[in-house]
A and B are shown apart, each in its own frame.
Chain A
Amino acid sequence: MKINKWTILSAAFILFGLAGAANIFIHGEHAMGTTNKIPWGILIAGYEYFVGISTGLLLVAALGYVFHGKAIIPIGKSLLMFAIFSLISGFAILLVELGNPLNFIHYFLTPNFTSPIWWMAPLYGIYLLLLVTLTVFVVRGNQALIRPFAIMTAVSAIVALICIGFLFGFIIARPYWNGPISPLYFILTSVFSGIAMASVIAFLQERQKTRANFESVKFLRMLSLSMMGVMGVIYIGKTFVGLYGQVPGKYESLLALLTGPLSFNYWVLEISLAIVIPFVLIVSARKLTAIKLGLAGLLSLTGIFFMRFNMVIAGQITPLKVVKNPAEETVFNLFSVTWSEWALIIGGIGIMAMLHLQRELLERIIKHKPAAELKRHGDVTL
């Protein structure tokens, strides 16, 4: 196992995450910022964020392995690896978020097939299985099996994303989430996060001097700009429809984002970081280098985290108004994020980083090289 300053930093992140998890397990919901009025907080956003990156990365990789996009193939293996790492981070966060994970056996004993949450486990399970299998084939170079498995994995990723869309879209109690576009929203935003992460990966690959591929950077630049355009349409659509129709519940949530308690998050941390600044960075660069693309990707990834967080909170920040009281003004529900919850998000980043740092070792395990041979070559420390 290689140990350097990045490994130590990643380990520190994971330890911080474990401390947060321990605090939540010991003190329960009191250690979290969630309330009866806002039952889903930053951990649900974090789960969505990491699984969104995973499925997004896979869909970007599919452009290479399914549609023969030559610019993606050089970074394809890294995309798949990071897709697995990101999924593991997402699952780790979700495990802590669940109040009673030990009762999980009832998932199988008394399943409820009308629940989107029930479908999440088998769908993401299948996705993970296919993703790992595809990665093994790519690492081992089984060319004949790569494309069929890439197709199956991409389909499973899309189906899993549609399920997350249903999870929110089915909730009639929360007008901001409720609606038929929810699955499409999750697919598009996940692809956006996948492209952003792929931009960071393209930079990392160049930094490690594994032969930078100018074509990859050029292709990702085109993808990033296209996706930012799509995101712009989504934002304009959501904003105008929300303001024009003034649908009760949806309208107030939109105001919370535009001018209310979530406005800093929305304008600065979401819109600016995820779209505006990366867009300017990419467009203004006379010659787009991997480092500039990577920086744009990193900013987008940060902004997309707040995109997830804002979506989760905006759906719950508006009081449900069970009883229509004409005299009552809208007083938004309070929300907070505790150190334990932040620790888990940072821990999730730590897991991704640590697994990436040990990637070489993982690849050699996949390739099934005996330890003696590895030691003889001296290219990996066990």
Chain B
Amino acid sequence: MAKYGLLVFPERCTGCTACNIACASHNQLGLDVSYNRLEFLEKGTYPYVKMEILPVQCQHCDNAPCVSVCPTQATYKREDGIVEIDADKCIGCKYCMAACPYEARQLNEKRVPEKCRWCPEMLEKGEQPACSATCMNEVRLFGDLEDPNSQLNKELAKHEVYQLLEAKGTKPSIFYVKK
């Protein structure tokens, strides 16, 4: 069984938001709902400043707070590492929204806190999730963390990487390449 992970190359991101649009289009999201976002960081002091753009979405944590707090197991961790939501089981308590340190949850019209699903229907066909597939600069590299020969693992070995809010102990499945 594969265990999915994602490697993000922030320095390649131009902030074009194509990933955001592809995600919204694929998942048929409303105008005020977004499963991934871009965080803009200013670094340095004038005149030596630069901007870094960081794509942020559900981190599909191994120790996911949203999975622990969901009273009905509507949010659950699949064997392949994807944190999935079964909307039919959701009672709408929004505990997952309060518990997620990454602000990944977005309430939809049916009052279900949805989020990035890593498009499992595309993975089953051997394709990349919509956000990765559409990115012109290959900012997102999606792959199998369990497979030592996967491109993802090769790139992980090559670069110094970090994860978001590591101190929270959530063990995210998304890695960011350090600049």
A and B associate in one complex = yes
A contact set with B: CB distance below 8 Å: 28-29, 34, 36-37, 39-40, 98-101, 103-104, 106-107, 109-112, 114-118, 167, 170-174, 315-316, 320, 322-323, 325-328
B contact set with A: CB distance below 8 Å: 39, 41-43, 54, 56, 65, 68-74, 88-95, 97-103, 105-107, 109-113, 164-165, 168-170
**Docked CA distance A375–B47 (Å):** 89
If A170-B69, A171-B65 touch, whether A37 touches B90 (CB-CB below 8 Å) is: no
**Docked CA distance A143–B32 (Å):** 60
If A98-B93, A327-B42 touch, whether A39 touches B102 (CB-CB below 8 Å) is: no
A106→B42 contact, CB < 8 A: no
B91 interface neighbour in A106, A174, A323, A326, Cβ under 8 Å: A106
Considering the complex, give the chain B residue whose CB is closest to the CB of A108: B72
If A111-B71, A322-B101 touch, whether A28 touches B109 (CB-CB below 8 Å) is: yes
Chain B residues with CB under 8 Å of A114's CB are 68-69
If A103-B90, A171-B98, A174-B98 touch, whether A111 touches B72 (CB-CB below 8 Å) is: yes
B92→A117 contact, CB < 8 A: no
If A110-B73, A115-B70, A327-B42 touch, whether A172 touches B112 (CB-CB below 8 Å) is: no
Considering the complex, give the chain B residue whose CB is closest to the CB of A30: B109
A326→B72 contact, CB < 8 A: no
**Docked CA distance A316–B101 (Å):** 11
Chain B residues with CB under 8 Å of A328's CB are 42
B91→A103 contact, CB < 8 A: yes
Chain B residues with CB under 8 Å of A173's CB are 65, 98-101, 168
**Docked CA distance A5–B52 (Å):** 65
B89 interface neighbour in A110, A118, A167, Cβ under 8 Å: A110
If A98-B92, A114-B68 touch, whether A36 touches B106 (CB-CB below 8 Å) is: yes
**Docked CA distance A106–B71 (Å):** 9
In addition to A39-B107, A323-B54, 9 A-B residue pairs with Cβ atoms within 8 Å of each other are A36-B107, A39-B98, A99-B91, A109-B72, A115-B70, A167-B95, A171-B99, A172-B168, A320-B103
**Docked CA distance A325–B10 (Å):** 14
A99 interface neighbour in B39, B42, B92, B103, Cβ under 8 Å: B92
B69→A39 contact, CB < 8 A: no
Chain B residues with CB under 8 Å of A320's CB are 101-103
A101→B91 contact, CB < 8 A: yes
Considering the complex, give the chain B residue whose CB is closest to the CB of A37: B103
- Give B147 Cβ to nearest chain A Cβ, in Å: 29
A100→B92 contact, CB < 8 A: yes
A106→B168 contact, CB < 8 A: no
Residue from the set A36, A117, A315 with the largest chain B CB neighbour count within 10 Å: A36
Considering the complex, give the chain B residue whose CB is closest to the CB of A168: B98
3 nearest CB pairs, A to B: A99-B92, A99-B111, A173-B101
If A107-B91, A172-B101 touch, whether A39 touches B71 (CB-CB below 8 Å) is: no
- Give A169 Cβ to nearest chain B Cβ, in Å: 12
B107→A29 contact, CB < 8 A: yes
**Docked CA distance A170–B68 (Å):** 10
10 examples of A-B residue contacts, CB within 8 angstroms: A100-B90, A100-B112, A103-B89, A106-B73, A114-B69, A116-B69, A117-B71, A172-B169, A325-B42, A326-B43
Considering the complex, give the chain B residue whose CB is closest to the CB of A333: B103
